[in-house]
Amino acid sequence: MTYESNVMNETIQTVSLREIPEGGVCSALGFRAAGVHAGFRADPSRLDLALVCADEPCACAAVFTQNEFCAAPVSVSRSHLIEGGEGSTYGTARAVMINSGNANAATGMRGLDTAEESSALAARALGCPASEVLVASTGVIGVHLPLAPFESGLPLAVEALSAEGSLDAARAIMTTDTCAKSYAVEFSGEAFGYPEVCFHVGGMTKGSGMIMPNMATMIAVLTTDVPLAAPDLHRALKTVVGQSFNKVTVDGDTSTNDSCFLFSSGAHRPSVPLATPGSELYEIFLVALTQVCVYLARLMAQDGEGATRLITVNVSGAAS
């Protein structure tokens, strides 16, 4: 993909985005991930606990379900970030932990306590404050989420964390999905005055049913090593989600657990300054993030429950 930018009337820069073979949530520098079987599922061959961790606390933005009956993990993760308004949040975080097999939804105060305690367990395992750990759950609704699998699975997940853990993490968040969904791109910093720097944007997602605009039973984790401040990361995420995940409908239902997290490791700092809105680096980051999210959204639509075809309609000459 080639993108031409004429930001602030400056010289047009042409930047090529390159797909990363087997790329995913760890393609960006400064991130590790793991997927293990913790026991949320009876089948020992099914991975059911994913952990994505930044090497250091970093900027993070999130967008959550607009369903008023949101699940406990959504409430807890929101509380761990600064309210950005309109259902979005941003702040500083170190990791996100996701279990499959149980959504911890419609579980009342007990569910909230469980989500908070699971976050605290992950924080202790990682050696960081609980406020820096975000949580998400996916699976059956109305069943209380046990803590025992976290207690036994977290040590395994922390030990397994690696820069090669993207695929296992993507597999661990699957529910009725028929395949893991990961994607990543990279681009050179030469056009921005950083000839020896390569920037990356990648991520993973799950979702194949209860898909409706404004996200659905969808959980996505996105990462980048383009350095951005949390408010600008939040601004970018809101823009891109509106052009990708929020365009997908499978069965008309909006879920209780929708969560989309975006982390920026800032791995190229301080040699690369923060990418700010209006700068060429920010603009090409938006294009890269859009490509990743659109690709993942199409994978979700293609894997929709009962779907046998993915049809693309191109409209030209329309009034709007």
* H-only helix segments in the chain: 72-79, 108-126, 148-160, 166-172, 230-241, 280-302
Whether cis (ω within 30° of 0) applies to the bond prior to 270 is yes
Q: In 3-state terms, what secondary structure has residue 259? A: strand
What pLDDT is recorded for position 6? 40
Beta bridge partners of 135: 97
CB contact at 8 A, 109 and 145: no
What pLDDT is recorded for position 7? 41
Which residue is catalytic, options 65, 205, 217, 256? 217
The rounded distance, in Å, linking the Cα atoms of 286 and 1 is: 13
Phi/psi at 238 (nearest 5 deg)?
-60, -40
The rounded distance, in Å, linking the Cα atoms of 60 and 224 is: 10
What is the DSSP secondary-structure string of 111-143? HHHHHHHHHHHHHHHHTS-GGGEEEEEEEESSS
Measure CA 183 to chain center.
11
What pLDDT is recorded for position 211? 45
The rounded distance, in Å, linking the Cα atoms of 138 and 101 is: 6
CA distances 18 to 23, 187, 202, 292, 315, Å, are 11, 6, 12, 11, 26
CA-based torsion, 20, 302, 210, 39: positive or negative: negative
* Residue in the structure block whose two tokens are 């975000």: 134
Measure CA 281 to chain center.
21
Record the tokens describing residue 297, joined without a space: 């959204």
Cα radius of gyration (the chain): 19
> Does 217 qualify as catalytic in the annotation?
yes
What pLDDT is recorded for position 250? 54
CB contact at 8 A, 237 and 89: no
The rounded distance, in Å, linking the Cα atoms of 312 and 106 is: 36
Beta bridge partners of 32: 53
Per-residue confidence in pLDDT tens, the chain, 320 aa: 444 444 433 433 467 999 999 999 999 999 999 999 999 999 999 999 999 999 999 999 999 887 777 899 999 999 999 876 665 699 999 999 999 999 999 999 999 999 999 999 999 999 999 999 999 999 999 999 999 999 999 999 999 999 999 999 999 999 989 999 999 999 999 988 899 999 999 999 998 654 444 434 689 999 999 999 999 999 999 999 888 887 776 544 567 888 999 999 999 999 999 999 999 999 999 999 999 999 999 998 888 766 778 777 889 999 98
CA distances 274 to 231, 255, 277, Å, are 12, 35, 10
Record the tokens describing residue 261, joined without a space: 């997290």
What pLDDT is recorded for position 2? 41
